[in-house]
Structure 1
């Protein structure tokens, strides 16, 4: 993917190296054991078994429950303490610049779409953190993976997820990383469009279909990510092989793939994000059409 360093900072927050309230660096915190994507598989399975929406790209975004429930320790969103990462000595500075660029590009794309329809787009903030973060959804472990929190309108990611995406999930490439960011901003789009509220209302009315509604919402976020990728391609940012990186990432984190990887029986009734084929299909739909209107998973006769 073609991108530039030095992107604007106003929709980006880097709190790596800073400890959330009530926790010093090196102290204990509620975790689900292990690290990164390996834990994300466990998180997804816990979500499916217990019926609790617990994460971002794996366990939920803006959908049926508030992001961060599994790693939540306390409510509130205080200023973190500790020493911020120094860009001059930051080994992940390239990732920081890339993430910042993609976040801005995704949101500027949606902003332009809103303006063409005479609407106002409300920018989200993307927060990068290490291990544990205080959000409007509570104190959350990075074990849940990237997530979006509707109350504070922020998306959260620990850079360790990028490494896990490549090493543990077989989904390398910068465009796979860009897909992750676009998916979470897709949840923000759902929030400001009122789709998040719609899903909560539907879930309250029909608890038996909660997972089904969650799948619809997650696949729509995949489709929104595909719409952004279409526009980025038209703008000359997408290079040969980039779409395949995103499609591979979408496939690798399908619910059926996660269940197989965890050694449990594939059970469609427990899915919260959709199968590998479904996630690929809806990302590709957005990528092929480049229009948000084609992403109405809630009215689709077949997911």
Structure 2
């Protein structure tokens, strides 16, 4: 009897081991950049998983963060080397010669909606701005190597730059420039890290231009590229992508705190951008008004 029991226990353990082995084989991890409690990256990870779930069985989707914290340039190199399967970054910050972009904007164009950090007691200066030419009388502050810096300069907006982006808020406080444009979800996070500075979020203007975060994979990984692209298309078509994106705490907070529906929108072009967007994908871009309307419905 004991030998029978032992035999059956060994058989059960063997079956369980085989099941774990088969599951591990079926669910090969998709390696992504690390997302250490960064709300934006966690949201992007969730949008990636949602999109993949439209074309792959859920039990076969395993997303695993890469343990090392990397710059955008190093993330790209790690994708090329096969250490990371997929990364995400601003389209203007990535050299695409050796990477394949999934040309549907992750945030549907929200990255191109910019609101400003300004000095306390200077809101009336910006309330008086009614045209883009009037805004050009003031200087923006940006990082030297940021893609957004190229856009602003291309639109003839005066820009003061620094290679040390951490200095931008203190430079603004010291009147080195007049305003600091950031994506609509970013200013409050930046200010919360420096409560000692006499700075506030400007509440009357949105500067709008084409900009995007894309998913990027190796050019050798056509299967993953196809799965992400087709999954995003399906999720957008059935509404689940919008539901996850616009109901996220990240964008809800931006809408509630940003006074977005009451702002003046000044639009400029991004001359290095539109030629890279396939015509069939332009339907996935939303205007500033469309984006704000969607955010208001999900607030």
Q: TM-score range by the shorter chain?
A: under 0.3
**TM-score normalized with structure 2 length:** 0.27
Larger relative CO (CA 8 A, sep 6+): 1 or 2?
A: 2
**TM-score normalized with structure 1 length:** 0.27
Bigger radius of gyration among the two: 2
